[in-house]
Structure 1
């Protein structure tokens, strides 16, 4: 791998406030930590991860570590979609994030989606080590590509792995999504009309109210989507001119995991990026008191 990029951020309590006590990044990876996001009463550190080239180049390897200390709150996000450029030869771009989340701490990972260019090869892995009362929210999503250039699911390889371990090395959530062009069936043929795939993980006591809202809203929304005609009102769908039953433009499911259902994973397939943004805006709005601003607004 070429152009190795590494980064480290440590968030700790300093005089009662969540503070980044260490922030290191190696060119062309860069972290931006604004001093103030939202109300002065908000106790959260925002971390923007970006690359100077505006995306991930073929063969890049990015490795980052984050430590969120006891009682702290941190938000990890991006300034725009993560662009993965065309593959040169057989070189795969790799991004690895590892995070440790302390007692009564909260980490919110809310990036914009990954957008892979034609022929791109990309693999990302995120590993989170939490305590029994840590809280964690992860949004992990990908679009079909550059629509304006006619690229839809034209990349060669995409792999996204999310592992959550409880108090050391006890597996709590292990998940991998793999999209790869087949010799007989392409990604586009398998995904069909859906242009966005997303996963949202919500875990921990500080996010229980978010879990409850999402589970109820997804249940109600999908009851409408799957039982009523296509002309019925849909909260997250683009209007349809058809008067027949058609494939829903937004699909979502919820599954609990962990001890006593302490976490929930939401999986989404949508025909437009905008519909996923709207869903995330509405479902994560109650995070504002914890993180300072409305996510994805």
Structure 2
């Protein structure tokens, strides 16, 4: 069950099929500042969609966002964003009492990082499609997000896209944020079937010497490690509803011929299969896939997602609103 009350930075969505209709409808649809939800009209009778937005076009330093979502039996729910999720620079908070008259009495208090959490419950025979635009962290941003998807049973399905860019490339910013952390948990019943965490930060930018530093082993900063790629994506497909898409992607991947080459490839991708054993002693069966993508441009990654990974989405739910955002 999702909470019945909302607090600042909190949103609640519950989507179900009413007893008097076959089209999904929202029984709960509420958000508080800085969150905002919009539900566009869909042409498909089996699809509901929500745009998850924030006032000001992005998340500012210290924002803490939590979104709780329920996708009830038989519902197809697509979650989208309008434009990339922008994360602004981490800034100190100025504290000054009314009694303070001298600027020397003003103190800067370190602000917490910007955080966002998505909690999704998917019931039997339902399909959740989390298809946002990429996250773009500005110079000096400090961002952490966690997405937790709980499938009620093996009949529930999920399509989860998590991708991010190097920053405001038009302004010459490439991997200049302070810290980026993003995690996905997928559970079926009480069993964890998938967990993925991406953590990028340079030790010299934030001074957190005891934290995991991806660049410390080779004495390289993030920009050097990831060059020349500017956009990375993780796409998770799990459950019977998305099995046809997963099979198509896996078929495309098997066509690739691996060979050594000195030529830089503009786009790299790989597929890993998620297996699960039905009962003790039985063979493991494919339940889903994880696609990892790296591209030298955001457009290249987007085109790959639309033309290879999601090209059958219209047949699946009647509309691909993610592709229409191009």
Q: Which residue of the other structure, out of 102, 116, 127, is the alignment partner of 2:123?
A: 102
Deviations 1:66-89 (A, max 9, x none): 000011110001011000001113
CA distance in 2, matches of 1:166, 1:146: 37
Q: Bigger shift: 109-118 or 8-17?
A: 8-17
Q: 2:203 is paired with a residue of what secondary structure?
A: coil
**1:173, 1:258 within 8 Å by CA — same for their partners in 2?**
no
User: Are the counterparts in 1 of residues 22 and 46 from structure 2 also a CA contact under 8 Å?
Assistant: no
For the 8 Å contact 1:280–1:296, the answer to whether it is kept is no
Q: Residue 209 in 1 paired to residue 234 in 2? A: no
- 1:112 corresponding residue in structure 2: 133
SS in 2 for 1:257: strand
**Distance of 2:150 and 2:245 partners within structure 1:** 21
Report if aligned partners of 1:202, 1:211 keep a CA contact under 8 Å in 2.
Answer: yes
Corresponding residue to 2:84 among 53, 75, 81: 81
The one of 133, 137, 145 aligned to 2:155: 133
Pick the aligned partner of 1:16 from 19, 22, 41: 22
User: What is the aligned partner in structure 2 of residue 37 from structure 1?
Assistant: 42
For residue 292 of structure 2, what is the aligned residue in structure 1? 267
Instruction: Give distance in 2, aligned partners of 1:218 and 1:275.
Output: 17
Aligned pairs (5 A) from 1:274-293: 274-282=299-307, 283-293=309-319
In structure 1, the partner of 2:98 is none
Superposed displacement of residue 182, structure 1: 3.0
Aligned twin of 1:198: 233
What is the DSSP-based 3-state SS (H/G/I as helix, E as strand, rest coil) of the residue aligned with 2:58? Answer: coil
Partner of residue 7 from structure 1, selected from 11, 33, 36: 11
Q: Deviations over 1:141-199 (max 9, x none)?
A: 000011111100000100001001111x2111111110111344221011110101110
CA distance in 1 between partners of 2:172 and 2:313 (Å):
36
1:61 aligns with 2:64: yes
**In the TM superposition, what is the alpha-carbon distance from 1:16 to its structure 2 partner?**
2.4
Q: Distance in 1 between matches of 2:25 and 2:275?
A: 30
3-state DSSP class of the match of 2:91? coil
Aligned to 2:323: 296
Residue from 201, 206, 225 that aligns with 1:180: 201
CA–CA separation in structure 2 for the residues paired with 1:182 and 1:149: 24
Provide the C-alpha distance between the structure 2 equivalents of 1:127 and 1:196, rounded to a whole number of angstroms: 23
Q: Distance in 1 between matches of 2:13 and 2:317?
A: 18
Classify the secondary structure of the residue corresponding to 2:271. Answer: strand
- Offset at residue 228 of structure 1 (A): 8.1
* Residue 203 of structure 1, CA deviation: 0.6
Q: How far apart, CA to CA, are the structure 2 residues paired with 1:110 and 1:155?
A: 23
TM-score under structure 2 normalisation?
0.80
Give the Cα separation in 1 of the matches to 2:241 and 2:68: 23
Give the number of aligned pairs.
273
Aligned partners of 2:295, 2:8: CA distance in 1, in Å? 34
Residue 227 (structure 1) shift: 3.3
Give, in angstroms, the shift of residue 133 of structure 1: 1.1
Cα deviation, 1:13-35, whole Å, max 9, x if unaligned, reads 1122211111010022000012x
1:210-239 deviation line (CA, Å, top 9, x unaligned): 00111122333x42xx5387xxxxxxxxxx
* Secondary structure of the corresponding residue to residue 50 of structure 1: strand
CA RMSD of aligned residues (A): 1.6
CA contact (8 A) 1:65 1:99 kept: yes
